[in-house]
Amino acid sequence: MVCLKKPSSNHSNASLSFLFLYSFILFCNFAPRFVKKVSNRLKPYHLGFTGLSLGHHHFDFDIGSDFFECFEETEIHVGQVKVDLDLEKQEKMLVLSFDIHGEVEVVCDRCAYEYMQPISGKEVVFIKFGSEYLEEDDDVLILPQGSHEVDVSSMLYDFIHLLVPYHRLHLPDEQGNLGCNKENLEILEELSPKETPVDPRWDVLNQLKID
């Protein structure tokens, strides 16, 4: 009879230590490359302003999947969004005026199927300067004195998500028909709990209790 020897605790601990060390090495090798990749993708959204003259300056952005993938918590992964940004440089502050329009992929609340949701909106952010970085209000940002650029990537990320409606439903087609996925609707209908008819005698008893 062959007896299997139970691994010693020392052997188990050594294996766990090796796995931890191996995972740590992989993380150390991967993380800097990932951060650098994200940093490169978002670099166009860092707008330098020290060399700009007073007045209006125009910037265009075409936002797609590469942009949304830079944010871990994003709800949007697919989209085509156009941003027209007017940067007005004044003596003591900057005024950023955003005009955002396009479409993003979301999940329909009715049929649980993806569709492209049109979005459009305008936002204005005032950039002032102070002793430290501070988000003073939804539309007021304080940058430290001596700053030479402003990162608008997080602003655009927030604006786009806020433009997506709370209730997300397929738009009707050209004929006015429901745009939802019919197969999904049928499946959801089959899975939904069915209402059982109520015996009318219970209504009488309930009425007696109330009286």
pLDDT in tens, 16-26: 555 555 555 54
Q: Total structural domains in the chain?
A: 1
Whether the pLDDT of residue 194 is over 90: the answer is: no
In a domain, 62, yes or no: yes
The answer to whether position 181 is within a domain reads yes
In a domain, 156, yes or no: yes
pLDDT digits (tens, 9 = 90+) for 138-150: 899 999 999 999 9
Q: Which residues contact 63 (CB under 8 A, 6 or more apart)?
A: 79, 80, 81, 82, 83, 102, 156, 160
Angle at CA 118, nearest 5°, toward 112 and 119?
A: 115
Q: Does a structural domain hold residue 94?
A: yes
| Residue 172, domain member (yes or no) | yes
pLDDT digits (tens, 9 = 90+) for 39-96: 688 999 999 999 999 999 999 999 999 999 999 989 999 999 999 999 999 999 999 9
Residue 22 lies in a domain: no
Model-level pTM?
Answer: 0.70
Range of the domain at 160: 45-189
Across the beta sheet with 55-63, the strand order is 55-63, 79-89, 94-107, 114-130, 140-144, 134-137
In a domain, 32, yes or no: no
Residue 149 counted as domain residue: yes
